[in-house]
Amino acid sequence: MQTILVGVTGGIAAYKTVQLVSDLIKKGYDVEVIMTKNATEFITPLTFSSLTKHDTYVDTFSKHVHYSVEHISLAKKADLFIIAPATANVIAKIASGIADDMLTTTFLACDCPKVICPAMNTNMYENPITKDNIEKLKHYGIHIVEPTSGLLACGDVGKGKLVDIEVMIDAIEMYVHKDKPLKGKTVLVSAGATKEAIDPVRYITNHSSGKMGYSIAKAARNLGADVILVSGSDLKDPYGINVVTITSAKEMKEAIDNYKKEADYIIMAAAVADYRPRSVSDHKIKKSDDMSLVLERTDDILKGLGKDKTYKLCGFAMETDDLIENAMKKFKEKDLDMIVANDLNTEGAGFKGDTNVVTIITKDNIEKLGIMTKSELGYAILERLMEVK
Ligand code: CTP
């Protein structure tokens, strides 16, 4: 089990850290929390202790701290240290090597990956002193997860809001992953449904959520790859991934053609429309008794990618009948290195859910995998694609 040290400093956004800690525990991490004295004005240590089942540390010399020099043993135990929210004050202290409480002392003693999520008033954040301090932290290899813009607790509008919990979790998962077999490689992933316009208000689409493609993209990022995600999904942009947002199959093809030269691996997880309306009306089409649409074929993006490959190519096959036979046909016709086949009629497989049940086909092997979370499957697909000769 990996241990995440969570440092909490005195900002109003500290309430979000409670959810962060809870989510990390649900994901199977052991979590230890260290708070500054000021943070305890916003949230009590008991809140965190109840979640983590560990003491929450505040003072270096508190009654909980045993003689074994707790800050050093915590520092040794940690696989990653995240400070969220991080105030301008704690950023300045860390940038200067000051270690005057449990949080800053442990931070200085840690040699695991470190992540800082600043949150403060926008003028404090934009102040050149804070900017310089943040640059200094980056120089020392500390990962900064930039705050977002919005209405701040002080009433100002600007940059300084603590990032969303999903972003913090994404950053943690990226930096805590020690094994980086895809370092130096570029992985291009497509995800989600395309939307084919009928008129300014209507379009044709399908039920794809994009979850499978996003899971592959995140797994590739965690394994060290540079990831380009061409997406038609409404899911939030994941941390550390270059997301190219598209709407139609035509836009998806243009984006993929644009980036394919850079790719070592291409994984087409998107549910691309096979047809689009032949003409798109400029005006909203008024209703009448019946209506017919003339559709024309879109380009098969995957098939085009199979020609003159300079990358390993993986496609998907979503079927309701004759899974292996249909998937094999696509594997051959589209010149693939691997195809991930799933049967929509299987319990736990398909578009919307968080799990999938697939068979992975390569030229040498047909492997049926049991039910997995899409997140686990992201790694399983990449591991197999890396092995393809
Ligand atoms: N695909 C693509 N371009 C399209 C249609 C599909 O690149 N216009 C890709 C998908 O991303 C997927 C694979 O082709 O990786 C198979 O998609 P699927 O919809 O299962 O099959 P099709 O080839 O469209 O064939 P059919 O709809 O007849 O099953």
Query: What is the whole-number distance in angstroms between the Cα of residue 245 and the centre of ligand 1?
Result: 19
Is residue 65 domain-shared with residue 143, that is, in the same domain?
Answer: yes
* CATH code, domain with 138: 3.40.50.1950
Asked if 22 and 166 sit in the same domain, the reply is yes
Predicted pLDDT at 68: 52
Under a CB-based contact definition with an 8 Å cutoff, are residues 24 and 5 in contact?
no
Assess whether pLDDT exceeds 60 at residue 3. yes
Q: Is the CB of 212 under 6 A from ligand 1?
A: no
User: Among 176, 195, 225, which residue terminates a domain?
Assistant: 176
d(CA 272, CA 301): 8
Q: Is 317 touching ligand 1 by the criterion CB < 6 Å?
A: yes
Residue 235 belongs to some domain of the structure: yes
Is 46 a member of any domain? Answer: yes
Residue 255, in any domain of the structure: yes
What is the C-alpha to C-alpha distance for residues 60 and 69, in angstroms, rounded to an integer? 9
* Among 206, 252, 274, residue to substitute to test ligand 1 (most atoms within 8 Å of Cβ): 274
| Same domain for 370 and 221 | yes
Residues 164, 210, single domain; the answer is no
58: nearest Cα among 40, 76, 79? 40
Q: Give 152 or 61, the one with higher predicted confidence.
A: 152
**194-236 confidence digits (pLDDT tens):** 999 999 999 999 999 999 999 999 999 999 999 999 999 999 9
Instruction: Please tell me the distance between residue 73's alpha carbon and the centre of ligand 1 in angstroms.
Output: 53
Tell me how far apart the alpha carbons of residues 382 and 157 are, in angstroms, rounded to a whole number: 42
In this predicted structure, the answer to whether residue 6 has a pLDDT above a threshold of 90 is yes
Q: How far is the CA of 380 from the centre of ligand 1 (A)?
A: 21
Is 299 a residue whose pLDDT tops 70?
Answer: yes
pLDDT at 322 over 80: yes
Per-residue pLDDT at 154 exceeds 90? no
pLDDT, position 165: 97
Q: Is residue 217 part of a domain?
A: yes
113 ligand 1 Cβ < 6 A: no
Boundary residue ending a domain (113, 141, 176):
176
Active site residue 110: no
pLDDT confidence of 153, banded at 50, 70, 90? confident
CA distances from 49 to 5, 32, 46, 116, 325 (A): 13, 9, 5, 22, 54
Q: Is the CB of 340 under 6 A from ligand 1?
A: no
Ligand 1 pocket member 343 (CB < 6 A): no
Round to whole Å and give the CA distance between 34 and 14. 12
Q: Which of 256, 297, 302 most suits a substitution to test ligand 1, by most atoms within 8 Å of the C-beta?
A: 302
Q: What is the extent of the structural domain holding 41?
A: 3-176
In a domain, 124, yes or no: yes
User: Is the distance from the beta carbon of residue 230 to the nearest atom of ligand 1 less than 6 Å?
Assistant: no
301 lines ligand 1 (CB under 6 A): yes
pLDDT in tens, 365-379: 999 999 999 999 999
**Has residue 248 been placed in a domain?**
yes
Q: How many H helices and E strands in the chain? A: 13, 21
Ligand 1 centre and the CA of 317: distance in Å? 7
Q: Percent of the chain at pLDDT above 90?
A: 89
Q: What is the DSSP letter of 283?
A: S
Among 244-258, 320-334, 345-359, whose mean pLDDT is lowest? Answer: 345-359
Of 251-265, 307-321, 350-364, the one with minimum mean pLDDT is 350-364
Q: How many residues does the chain have?
A: 389
On whether both 110 and 195 belong to a single domain, the answer is no
* Domain match, 208 and 83 both: no
Same domain, 166 and 205: no
For residue 385, is pLDDT > 90?
A: yes
pLDDT digits (tens, 9 = 90+) for 34-85: 999 999 999 999 999 999 999 999 976 665 555 456 678 888 899 999 999 9
pLDDT of res. 67: 45
CATH of the domain at 269: 3.40.50.10300
Q: What is the mean pLDDT of the chain?
A: 94
Residues 51 and 157 in one domain: yes
- Within this chain, do residues 208 and 303 fall inside the same structural domain, yes or no? yes
Tell me if 52 is assigned to some domain.
Answer: yes
Give the number of domains in the chain. Answer: 2
Q: Which of 110, 112, 117, 154 is catalytic?
A: 154
- Our mutation pick for probing the ligand 1 site, out of 205, 233, 260, 300, counting the most ligand atoms within 8 A of Cβ, is 300
Which of 176, 200, 219 is the endpoint of a domain? Answer: 176
User: Are both 194 and 47 inside the same structural domain?
Assistant: no
Looking at the structure, tell me whether residues 266 and 168 fall in a common domain: no
Mean pLDDT to the nearest integer, 147-175: 93
Q: How far apart are the CA of 182 and the centre of ligand 1, in A?
A: 26
Dist. CA 75 → ligand 1 center (Å): 49
Of ligand 1's listed atoms, the one at least distance from the Cα of 314 is 15
pLDDT range class, residue 23, cuts 50, 70, 90:
very high
Q: Which residues contact 325 (CB under 8 A, 6 or more apart)?
A: none
pLDDT at 361 over 60: yes
Q: Is residue 181 part of a domain?
A: no
Same domain, yes or no: 96 and 146: yes
Query: How far is 144 from 72, CA to CA, in rounded Å?
Result: 23
